[in-house]
Chains A and B, each alone.
Chain A
Amino acid sequence: MTKLQKEDLEGILQRRRESRRDWIAVGMGSCGLAAGADAVFTALTEGARERGLEIDIRKTGCLGACHAEPLVEVCVDGVPKTLYGHVSAEWVDLILDSHVLLKRVVTRLAVPEIAERLTSCNDRDEPDPGRQYKIVTRNCGAIDPESLEEYIASGGYQALRRCLSDLSPDEVIQEVETSGLRGRGGAGFPTGLKWRLTREAEGAEKFVVCNGDEGDPGAYMDRSVLEGDPFSVIEGMTIAAYAIGASEGFLYIRAEYPLAVARIEAAIRSAKLAGLLGRNILGSDFSLNLEVRLGAGAFVCGEETALIASIEGKRGTPRPRPPYPSVSGLWGGPTCINNVETLANLPPILAKGADWFRSIGTEKSPGTKVFALTGKVRRPGLVEIPMGTPLRTVVEEIGGGPLPGRRIKAVQTGGPSGGVIPAHLLDTPVTYEDLAELGSMMGSGGMIVMDDQDSIVDITRFYLGFCVEESCGKCAPCRIGGRQMLTILERLSEGRGTPEDLEQLRQISKTMKAASLCGLGKSAPNPVLSTLRYFPEEYERAISGAHTKA
């Protein structure tokens, strides 16, 4: 590909629109591949060749309905777009013969309730209550993540073009501030403000960093976006770099996500070849180089200062803030760190404008949030909902409710730093404020459903055990407090607790929250405190010895 100029983007968009034809998409994210999507893709390609079919067969990222992998979506003129689930290579002939040739949907393989709630892309402009609305995952499952052309054809790089030709860096920041976008990594810090602080900080060299160290167990939103739409993350970073005045950036990605790393590296290479990274991007004066750095299995590296230490090649231990990374980050330079999901929000915001973004979600939490809905629910999957959607809608309507014969007991959000929300509070809307009020948090987007078979005390022990293992050991409240609490919870799990144990848990929690150095220690007591608050009867049972491990 030769270096693209601003005008070229329009041409690609136009050409692709005119050449639209029938297509079949195979979900080939990590989940799909684990379930055998590779064999399905091969069978489809061979089947189409044998039949002489003129049809696009694409490898795409996550289609969202993770419980029904491998997933195949078929879009043929004259037949309703259909999502097929649990597809095996043997069923491929049937799909090709019936759906593509005879134009008849294979009803018994189609997953209608999924198609209704979990379609791969928006079929309407306005969000519809009770349904998903996709901004961040707009391209996941819809385009080939390795094709820059498909990304551009779906409207990609229009935002960057607009920034470079019509907006000054300050105007870009202004637009992001107006949009009200808040950091999707969990804490919800206003993105525009973070950019402004970095732009205004003194420093010869500034950096943009993508935080792809998705460490929460039970969360895979960022992996899905990195695998399914890597260019949107890269475009988001490019816009951020232009706004804050950086010419170098890093994507810090977990080594446990090899496919995400491979797709991002491929995307960086293609963007560089097309002149969308490197020197004089889209023929402008603006230049940016991006590089991938791998995590190495340390949860604490999701914390900004620890992440910086890790990119610098050191042990990933946090340091006290201030100074914040926006003032002194990588190698002492002002550094803007944004989460994967935050970055993927930016191209649509800058292409469609801040007002459009504000029209979705709530006043204080505009936009959408992506959740990895997992655990004891009928249809686990990757879901994206407008902020303010009640938890109940996500769990019951989109997720299909409890497993047969079971009752939902609680929903956990925010991972090991979050809290456990009891079933009677499921009407709570999903916003930063509402979840915090319940003693949980938005977190990065893990949403784990627990049912009557799960022991709350055991789950709490599980989360705390995670934080204890991942504590870097630098500060005493986290290192010692966590260990002490874990000992108590282990005792409780085995039904050997004493009445004093509960008071002790509260005391240690208070100390850890007040005195720990970083977010890991400050938030590690959250699961303990929220379960003590909402499930006192389970702790009582643990004390009386009646508690049995589920």
Chain B
Amino acid sequence: MAEKDLSADVALAVRKWQKKRGALIMVLHEIQGRLGYVPREIALELSKQMNVPLARIYEVLTFYNFFELEPPAKYVISGCMGTACYLKGTPQIMQEFSRLLGIEVGQTTPDGRFSLTTVRCVGCCGQAPVVLINGEVHSKVSPQDVPHLLAQCKD
């Protein structure tokens, strides 16, 4: 990433929020929304531009589950672990993904194409169990659907 783009990205997010109180989390959301994660160089740049100690920024980044510090895989597969989904079989679905991809939940395939995670209740409990692929909700999934879902993740 060129240094210039990087400062520009940060500057944009900072400018949007600089007049508001308690804006740090919203700025981080803005950056993650654009890049998919919060890289260390960005955190450093942010620390300068917002005049906030780097430790404060990492304090927040590491407290909240939503923030990512590593670049995301091309396809992020998240099983919903809300109670309804759990009861209706998310663990079995994730096992099937694990088996086919050869990685555990929390890992990324060596080629960086797939990562497996679990997510807190997304509130689609009536459609349980649900799996999110890059944020898109797939409803009433069964372990038998897993090969098909993976086949849809082409290129």
A in complex with B:
yes
A491–B53 CA distance with the chains assembled, in angstroms: 43
Contact B124 A217 (CB under 8 A): no
User: Is residue A255 contacting chain B, with contact meaning CB distance below 8 A?
Assistant: yes
In the complex, what residues of A have CB within 8 A of residue B124's CB? Answer: 30-31, 34, 66, 220
Q: Is the CB of B125 within 8 A of A297?
A: no
Of A34, A258, A316, which is within 8 A of B130 by CB? A34
**Complex Cα gap A33–B123 (Å):** 12
- The residues of B that contact A372 with a CB separation of less than 8 Å are 123, 125-126
Binding stretch for chain B, among A87-95, A149-157, A305-313, A480-488: A305-313
Cβ-based interface call for B73 (8 A): no
* 0/1 interface trace, chain A 282-302, chain B, CB 8 Å (1 if under): 000000000101111111000
Whether the pair B137, A313 counts as a contact (CB closer than 8 A) is: no
Which residues of chain B have C-beta atoms less than 8 A from A462's C-beta? 83, 86
Q: Is the CB of A313 within 8 A of B65?
A: no
Whether a CB of chain B sits under 8 angstroms from the CB of A331 is: yes
Which of A220, A258, A382, A472 has the most C-beta atoms of chain B within 10 angstroms of its own C-beta? A220
Given A66-B126, A218-B125, A30 and B84 touching (CB < 8 A)? no
In whole angstroms, what is the CA distance A111 to B30 when docked?
43
Are A374 and B25 in contact, CB atoms less than 8 angstroms apart? no
Q: Which residue of B lies closest to A301 (CB)?
A: B64
Task: From the candidates B65, B88, B126, B127, name the one contacting A297 in the complex (CB within 8 A).
Answer: B65
Q: For A299, list chain B residues within 8 Å (CB).
A: 120
Which residues of A196-239 are within 8 A (CB) of B?
A: 214-220, 223-224
User: Is A6 an interface position by the 8 A CB rule?
Assistant: no
A30 touches B83 (CB 8 A): no
Partner of A30, one of B21, B25, B60, B123: B123
Task: Tell me how far the C-beta of A403 lies from the nearest C-beta in chain B, rounded to whole angstroms.
Answer: 10
- Complex contact B123–A215 (CB within 8 A): no
Interchain CB contact (< 8 A) of A374 among B24, B125, B135 = B125
Let me know if B23 is at the binding interface, CB within 8 A. Answer: yes
Interface residues on A, range: 35 or more
User: In B121-139, which residues have CB < 8 Å from any A CB?
Assistant: 121-128, 130, 135, 137-139
On whether A219 and B24 interact (CB within 8 A), knowing A31-B126, A297-B64, A450-B87, the answer reads no
Which B residues touch A424, using CB under 8 A?
A: none
Nearest-CB distance from B153 to chain A (Å)? Answer: 18
CB–CB B81/A454 < 8 A = no
In the complex, A454 Cα to B125 Cα: how many Å?
17
Q: Contacts A66-B126, A375-B87, A380-B125; is A35 near B139 (CB within 8 Å)? A: yes
Give Cα A294 to B59, complex, Å: 17
B27 to chain A minimum Cβ distance, whole angstroms, is 9
Which residues of chain A from 314 to 348 have a CB within 8 Å of any chain B CB?
Answer: 314-317, 331
Given A34-B124, A314-B60, A375-B83, also A293-B25 (CB < 8 A):
yes
Q: Find out whether the CB atom of B127 lies under 8 angstroms from the CB atom of A69.
A: yes
From B119, B123, B138, A223 is in contact (CB under 8 Å) with B123
**Chain A hits for B22, CB < 8 A:** 293, 311-314, 331
- Please report the C-alpha to C-alpha distance between residue A224 and residue B21 in the assembled complex, in whole angstroms: 29
By beta carbon, the residue of chain B nearest A292 is B26
CA distance A433 to B63 in the complex (A): 35
Chain A residue at smallest Cβ distance from B29: A294
A33→B24 CA distance, assembly (Å): 32
- Verify if A412 is at the interface (C-beta below 8 Å from B): yes
Q: Is A303 interfacial (CB 8 A cutoff)? A: no
Residues of A within 8 A of B138 (CB): 34
Please indicate which of the listed interface residues A257, A314, A454 has the most CB atoms of chain B within 10 Å of its own CB.
Answer: A314
Cβ of B148 within 8 Å of any chain A Cβ, yes or no, is no
Interface residue? A369 (CB, 8 A)? no
Contact flags (1/0) for B59-99 with A, using CB distance below 8 Å? 11001111100000000000001111011100000000000
C-alpha gap A459/B23 in the complex (Å): 38
For residues 31 through 72 of chain A, which have their beta carbon under 8 Å from a beta carbon of chain B?
A: 31, 33-35, 66-67, 69
B123 touches A214 (CB 8 A): yes
Is A538 interfacial (CB 8 A cutoff)? no
Q: Which listed residue, B25, B29, B83, touches A218 by the CB 8 Å rule?
A: B83
Partner of B59, one of A69, A256, A315: A315
User: Which of B24, B29, B86, B121 has the most chain A CB atoms closer than 10 A to its own CB?
Assistant: B121
B20 within 8 A of A: yes
Inter-chain CA distance A448–B126, complex, in Å, is 11
Q: How far is the CA of A224 from the CA of B124 in the complex (A)?
A: 10
Q: Looking at B60, B64, B81, B137, which has the most chain A CB atoms within 10 Å of its CB?
A: B64
A293: which B residues are within 8 A, CB to CB?
22, 25-26
In the complex, the chain A residue whose C-beta lies closest to that of B20 is A291
The CA of A31 and the CA of B82, in the complex, are separated in Å by 14
Which of A256, A295, A448 gathers most chain B CB within 10 Å?
A: A256
Question: Chain B residues with Cβ under 8 A from A525's Cβ?
Answer: none
**Which of these, A34, A446, A450, contacts B137 with CB under 8 Å?**
A34
Cβ–Cβ < 8 Å partners of A382 in chain B: 126
Are A310 and B87 in contact, with the CB atoms below 8 A?
no
Query: B84 near A448 (CB under 8 angstroms)?
Result: yes
A256–B25 CB distance below 8 A: no
A381 contacts chain B at the CB level, 8 A cutoff: yes
**Chain A 436-467 interface mask (CB, 8 Å, partner B; 1/0):** 00000000001010100010000100110000
Q: Does A547 contact B (CB under 8 A)?
A: no
Q: What is the minimal beta-carbon distance from B14 to any residue of chain A, in angstroms?
A: 13
A161 at the interface (CB under 8 A from B): no
A415 CB contacts on chain B under 8 angstroms:
83
Interface centre among A34, A35, A220 (most CB of B within 10 A): A34
For A367-388 the 0/1 string (1 means CB < 8 A from B) is: 0000010111000111000000
New A-B pairs, 9, CB < 8 Å, besides A34-B130, A293-B26, A294-B29: A66-B126, A214-B123, A219-B121, A294-B25, A296-B64, A312-B21, A312-B22, A448-B83, A462-B86
Q: What are 19 of the A-B contact pairs (CB < 8 Å)?
A: A66-B127, A69-B126, A69-B139, A220-B124, A256-B120, A256-B123, A294-B29, A296-B28, A296-B67, A299-B120, A312-B22, A314-B24, A316-B64, A317-B63, A372-B126, A374-B126, A375-B88, A448-B83, A472-B63
Contacts from A to B (Cβ < 8 Å): 30-31, 33-35, 66-67, 69, 214-220, 223-224, 255-258, 291, 293-299, 310-317, 331, 372, 374-376, 380-382, 412, 415, 446, 448, 450, 454, 459, 462-463, 472
**Which 6 A-B pairs have CB atoms at the shortest separation, nearest pair first?**
A66-B126, A220-B123, A296-B64, A297-B65, A218-B83, A297-B66
